[in-house]
Structure formats: structure tokens, C-alpha cells
Amino acid sequence: MPEKYIQIDGTTGKPGYIGKDDGQKVPGMPADDDLCGITFELYKTEVGSGEETITVYGVNFACVPTDKCNEKNKETNKEKEKLKKDIDAEQKKIDDANKAIKDDDKIIGDDKKKPQHEQAKADKKRAEGEKKEAEKKQAGLKDELKKCGPECTLKFLVATGGDETVKYSLTLDQIKKKKIEYAVCLCVKVAPPKKK
């Protein structure tokens, strides 16, 4: 299980893990049981072009649900898994339709198979219809999955005594400018998708 508490170095903006005891002493820190695991990865990227290029350093944060958080969202997670399976099933239909369309195009494009052209055109039209239907259904399923939301939300505790929920990727300069002192992931109860 990943660590739950990250402290930010005020001078460099770089994160580092701290233990539960130190983390729980921080004013405004949520209870340990309410936290998910948190990970981070430092990155560097080039911004600009030519002589105007500068190197920017930053941090990508990620939340990892704990067993307790997964249990809290058990019903929703079951629904999410079902939605993911349904999305995969629609993707298989789309892939099968694409293959059928490609095969039919080969027949239609082959003058030696002229007697089969009409059937191939009809098959292609049917496959295109099936593909369109599967894509529409898949889009709806993906929308439902998005509505479920993540089990964990990134939270930054800032020097002014408040907190804010923000982007999962920040440059070190943004971290310092916002005066972020700590980063944690808060477990949230996610509503299951509405049954149709």
C-alpha cells in the first residue's frame, strides 16, 4: 500500500513522504481512515522553442484507493466493473465490424469476384450499421462510467491554513507559488450509476 502523506519542501517545491504520526499533527489534516494512498512522480519537460526553450520541472500526483475506501465504494465499484466489461464488449463488436468492412472492401475491389460484389456491399452496409450502433452504445456506457467519478480526490493543504482540490500535475513553481505544504488523497463515497 502506498504512503498516505506527502510534505512539500517550501524551498524547492519537491514532495517527500512523511509518516502517519507527523501527518496527523498537521492542522486541518483529514482522519487517517478517510485517506487513500498517494504516489508522486517528478517530471521534466521542455517549454518553448529554439533559444527560448526552458526546462520545467514538475510533479504528477496519483491517488490509490485503500481496501477500506474500496469497501466503502463496493456497490459502485461492482457497477463500474460491469460498465467496463460492457464497454469492452461493444469494442469487440466495433472491431469485428471494422474487420468485416475491410474484408468486404477487398471483395468489392477485386474484379475477379464480381459475382460477390452485391452481397459484399450489403454485408458492408450491415456491418457499418452495427458499428455505428455499437459506437453509440459504447459512448453512452463511457458517459455512465465517467459519472461514477474516482474514489479518491487529491487535496493540497496550503500555508494559509486552507486546502484546495486541484490538478494532479503541477510544476514545482506552481507548487511554491500556491504555498502548498502537504498533499493527501481523500476517500469519497461515489454514487453508483443510475439504473435505466
Give 32-51 pLDDT, tens digit per residue.
Answer: 999 999 999 999 888 887 78
Q: What would the mean pLDDT of 144-151 be, rounded to a whole number?
A: 80
Q: What would the mean pLDDT of 119-139 be, rounded to a whole number?
A: 89
Compute the distance between CA of residue 196 and CA of residue 193 in angstroms, rounded to an integer: 9
Distances in whole angstroms, Cα of residue 105 to Cα of each of 6, 30, 95, 113, 143: 56, 60, 15, 11, 32
Q: Comparing 76-80, 91-95, 131-135, which segment has the lowest mean pLDDT?
A: 76-80
Q: What would the mean pLDDT of 14-38 be, rounded to a whole number?
A: 92
Provide the H-helix boundaries in 42-180: 67-72, 74-108, 117-148, 172-177
Residue 70 confidence (pLDDT) above 70 = yes
**Short-list 36, 88, 35, CA closest to 63:** 36
Q: What count of Cα atoms within 13 Å lies in the side-chain half-sphere of residue 128?
A: 9
CA-based radius of gyration for the chain: 25
Residue 158 confidence (pLDDT) above 90 = no
**What average pLDDT is seen over the chain?**
85
Compute the distance between CA of residue 144 and CA of residue 35 in angstroms, rounded to an integer: 25
